[in-house]
């Protein structure tokens, strides 16, 4: 199997292209500073994953900017901290400050020359606008949870992806779904018959960080520790043709 067999790369953004774990930890720092006991980075991320996933299931149509304040309040309650609602709302606006991984923009600019690039993201359109500025590429399709009315890993998000991408001339067998999260992306990609590529951003860390642990580990066709490594593999393929 070769990367060049595919015509479109469909991307998870947060955790794959945007360093959302750094963004989450920095965004939660005003809350964490009030907690009486010391919280490890992974403890913060794993608690965030639990509350985020729960509220995405119970309120699938809620925009991500509106969902994050609720997550913030639930974390404050869990950690025994009092917060004002305006503090919760400020966290909902923090996505615009989440940094891109250093290799993302250059990798995307290279890949744009060889593939259609499409986003399937759990954030709202306004939040993604700020992230897209950091990625510095024009995507051929942007499909957000706000557009779809639910969050990954719900089936409808991937059904929507497959149906909408057909409008730009891409069939399911021509898609390589490219993502970090096993829970949000690789498990449902398997279920929907999509080939996937694991960008293992947490290769030097334990656990699943800001994503839930999948009940069953999925399979994937390709695995790289960074977007830069994906680009190198594609370049090597072209050199060997």
State the catalytic residues. 12
Cα–Cα distance measured from residue 127 to residue 98, given in angstroms and rounded to the nearest whole number: 10
Taken as a whole, the chain contains a residue count of 241
Q: How far is CA 106 from CA 43, 61, 67, 69, 111, in A?
A: 32, 33, 31, 32, 9
Radius of gyration, alpha carbons of the chain: 18
Dihedral angle computed from the Cα positions of residues 127, 133, 138 and 144, in that order, rounded to the nearest 10 degrees: -10
Dihedral angle computed from the Cα positions of residues 22, 146, 137 and 21, in that order, rounded to the nearest 10 degrees: 10
Burial (CB count <10 Å: 0-12, 13-18, 19+), residue 227? buried
């Amino acid at each position: 199997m070769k990367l060049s067999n595919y015509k479109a790369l469909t991307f998870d953004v947060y955790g794959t292209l945007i360093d959302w774990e750094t963004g989450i930890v920095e965004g939660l720092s005003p809350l964490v500073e009030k907690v009486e006991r010391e919280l490890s980075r992974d403890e913060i991320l794993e608690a965030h994953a639990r509350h985020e996933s729960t509220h995405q299931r119970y309120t699938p149509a809620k925009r991500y900017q509106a969902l994050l304040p609720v997550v913030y309040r639930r974390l404050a309650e869990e950690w025994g901290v009092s917060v004002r609602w305006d503090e919760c709302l400020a966290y909902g606006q923090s996505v615009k400050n989440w940094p891109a991984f250093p290799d993302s923009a250059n990798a995307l600019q290279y890949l744009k020359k060889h593939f259609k690039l499409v986003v399937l993201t759990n954030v709202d359109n306004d939040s993604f606008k700020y992230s897209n500025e950091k990625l510095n590429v024009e995507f051929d399709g942007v499909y957000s949870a706000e557009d779809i009315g639910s969050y990954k890993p719900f089936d409808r998000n991937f059904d929507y992806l497959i149906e909408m991408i057909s409008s730009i001339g891409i069939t399911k067998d021509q898609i390589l779904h490219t993502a970090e999260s096993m829970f949000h992306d690789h498990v449902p990609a398997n279920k929907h018959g999509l080939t996937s590529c694991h960008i293992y951003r947490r290769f030097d860390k334990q656990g699943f960080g800001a994503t839930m642990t999948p009940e069953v580990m999925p399979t994937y066709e390709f695995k790289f520790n960074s977007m830069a490594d994906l680009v190198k593999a594609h370049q090597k393929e072209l050199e060997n043709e």
